Amino acid sequence: MKKVQQHYDEIAEVYDRRYDSRRGRYYHGHIRDHVMEYLPKGGFLLDVGCGTGLFVQRYVQEEGQAVGIDISPGMVRHGRKRCPDCGFFVGTADALPFRDDSFDALASLLAFSYVPDPEATLDECYRVLAPGGRIAVCTLSRTVFTSIVPFIYRMGERVGLKGVGVGNFDEHYYTNAEMERLFCDAGFEDVTTSRCSFAHLKLIEPIFTLARKAEPFIERKLPYLAYNVCASGKKPEE
């Protein structure tokens, strides 16, 4: 995790620029909207792996309250600038510095693949959620496309390739079945999984535009081609 922290500290200054392009706004916005469908609006949210606060900002736009936690101090500093009325903390997902039953909702976007102990992370998420609270995690999925990404990143790292999220971080690409098992083992109920995002922001034009047009069909009919898997669940009522 030290390597992940160092990487995101180094690129914190340029992180938001990635999602301020046309492709970036669409890609991350699509994921944010997808995750929001599974969460209660107007509640109290914890965003695990919050980055610069993009989803925290999205949640408070729905009249909710939110705090974020991230392993990168650089990201947290930018989150505090983006949403000065929200709380941002430096910490790890497997040891959340919050009391039991603190949140109505919990989200994690594009960060879960980097946690070294997913079981401990979901145990902590379960602990800090209030009974009846809901969780939604969107992370990298295993597809015919992503299966070669770790190799590309390893080669890119050797030649000094730089970029947001580009590096050999031992990330895990999850299947729907893996996410369902992890959620159920942690104690969540009403567990569902779906796939989203076929139009990845790293695609060049005109491929990105074509992928965007095909995205609704891919997500409905050929979901195994989508780049991300989203899992949701509920902490049982007491």
For residue range 164-201, list pLDDT tens digits in order.
444 455 788 999 999 999 999 999 999 999 999 988 87
Residue 54 clears pLDDT 50, i.e. is over it = yes
Phi-psi group of 178: left, alpha or beta (phi > 0 → left; psi -120 to 50 → alpha; rest → beta) = alpha
pLDDT at residue 223 tops 50: yes
State the residue for tokens 């159920």.
Answer: 184
Residue partners of 194: CB distance under 8 A and separation at least 6? 34, 176, 219, 223, 229, 230
Angle at which helix 118-128 crosses helix 176-186, to 10 degrees, equals 50
pTM of the shown model: 0.88
Residue (of 102, 84, 73, 100) closest to 6 by Cα position:
73
Least confident range of 54-58, 137-141, 165-169, 195-199? 165-169
CATH superfamily of domain region 2-232: Vaccinia Virus protein VP39 (3.40.50.150)
Query: Rounded mean pLDDT of 16-45?
Result: 91
DSSP, residue by residue, 72-93? -HHHHHHHHHH-TTSEEEE--T
Structure confidence at residue 105 (pLDDT) = 98
b/e burial code for range 87-121 (CB count within 10 A of at least 16 → b): ebbeebbbebeeeeebbbbbbbbbbbbbbeebeeb
> What is the distance between the alpha carbons of residues 202 and 213, in angstroms, rounded to a whole number?
16
pLDDT(2) > 70? no
Sign of dihedral through CA atoms 77, 81, 82, 85? positive
Around Cβ 182, how many Cβ atoms within 10 Å?
A: 20
Token reading at 18:
């990635």
Domain locations along the chain: 2-232
d(CA 184, CA 28): 27
Q: Do residues 44 and 104 lie in contact, with contact meaning Cβ atoms separated by under 8 Å?
A: yes
Torsion 37-42-46-47 (CA) sign: positive
pLDDT category at 152 given cuts 50, 70, 90 is very low
Task: Specify the higher pLDDT residue, 9 or 182.
Answer: 182
pLDDT tens, residue by residue, 113-136: 999 999 999 999 999 999 999 999
Give pLDDT, residue 148: 52
Spatial strand order of the sheet with 103-109 comes to 87-90, 65-70, 44-48, 103-109, 129-140, 228-234, 189-196
